[in-house]
Amino acid sequence: MRRLALLSLLVLAFAAPAQAEPRRFVIFFQEWSAAIDDAAKGVVAEAADYAKTHPAESIRVSGFADPTGSKQANILLSELRAQRVADLMIENGVPTNRIEKIGRGSVTFAITSLESRRVEVSVAPTKR
């Protein structure tokens, strides 16, 4: 009987739907800039299309800056980058109320400073 109960618990654990991983899109920026170039516009359009085909999922737009400059300047720049990407997603048909914008400030890069000058768009299942 005990084995049957354990087996039932295992079956339920594996049968439960797994939480899907968020889909991420990354937009890169030039140093001290929030301008979105043509390549970045393509990535934002792809993120917007994906978000529109997954209307129940939440959207987080997180801006980052490289470590040069003051903490306050980097926070403002990361917020501006996130706002620019969010605005472009809205222009591409994503409802404003689905987008959460966050300016994360500066982050240290692994290989090049370009890695830090980015916005990440994450489209993920809404947590229940």
Q: Which residues of 37-57 are buried (b: 16+ CB within 10 A; e: fewer)?
A: eeebeebbbebbebbeeeeeb
Q: Classify domain 21-125 at the CATH topology level.
A: 60s Ribosomal Protein L30; Chain: A; (3.30.1330)
Q: Which DSSP letter does residue 3 get?
A: H
Q: What is the 3-state secondary structure (H, E, C) of 59-85?
A: EEEEEEECCCCCHHHHHHHHHHHHHHH
Global pTM?
0.81
Chain-wide mean pLDDT for the chain?
86
Model pLDDT for residues 19-69, shown as the tens digit of each residue: 578 999 999 999 999 999 999 999 999 999 999 999 999 999 999 999 989
Q: List, in order, residues 6 or more apart from 76 with CB less than 8 Å away.
A: 103
β-pair partners for 26: 120
Q: Is the pLDDT of residue 14 over 50?
A: no
Enumerate the domain spans of the chain. Answer: 21-125
Q: Is the pLDDT of residue 6 over 50?
A: no
